[in-house]
Amino acid sequence: EDKVVQSPLSLVVHEGDTVTLNCSYEVTNFRSLLWYKQEKKAPTFLFMLTSSGIEKKSGRLSSILDKKELFSILNITATQTGDSAVYLCARLPNSGYALNFGKGTSLLVTP
């Protein structure tokens, strides 16, 4: 089955902590893996990963894809309360355009 599994499902941390969110998948052949931040309704784009082992970075957020071990991680350093959101991982298959989403990790950053 073509599952995208995210872990943990939820996480509570204190401001300043570093968090690592995980995304694992089962299908080896795909175009890209994407990360989104969903605060209310609309997911906002964070990263698109196509190649294995190449880290993408944006401010305090970074992400990397491991195609051999079939997972990706999203790191957030020096967390802030504004980082509180659901983080979604999605796989873009080789054919078609349907993003296959995981259920997300709900992150709460407390002051």
Partner 1 sequence: SAVISQKPSRDICQRGTSLTIQCQVDSQVTMMFWYRQQPGQSLTLIATANQGSEATYESGFVIDKFPISRPNLTFSTLTVSNMSPEDSSIYLCSVEDLLLIGYTFGSGTRLTVV
Binding positions for partner 1, rule: CB under 8 A: 34, 36, 40-45, 48, 88, 90, 97-99, 101-104
Nearer to partner 1, 34 or 76 (CB): 34
Nearer to partner 1, 17 or 30 (CB): 30
Answer whether 81's CB lies under 8 Å from 15's CB: yes
Torsion of CA 12, 85, 105, 50, to 10 degrees: -130
At closest approach, how far in Å is the CB of 59 from partner 1?
Answer: 16
At closest approach, how far in Å is the CB of 107 from partner 1?
Answer: 16
Coil/strand/helix, residue 6? strand
At closest approach, how far in Å is the CB of 14 from partner 1?
Answer: 26
Name, in order, each residue with C-beta under 8 angstroms of 11's C-beta and a sequence gap of 6 or more.
19, 21, 105, 106, 107, 108
Nearer to partner 1, 45 or 59 (CB): 45
At closest approach, how far in Å is the CB of 21 from partner 1?
Answer: 14
Nearer to partner 1, 79 or 89 (CB): 89
Using a 10 angstrom Cβ sphere, with 0-12 exposed, 13-18 middle and 19 or more buried, the burial of residue 100 is middle
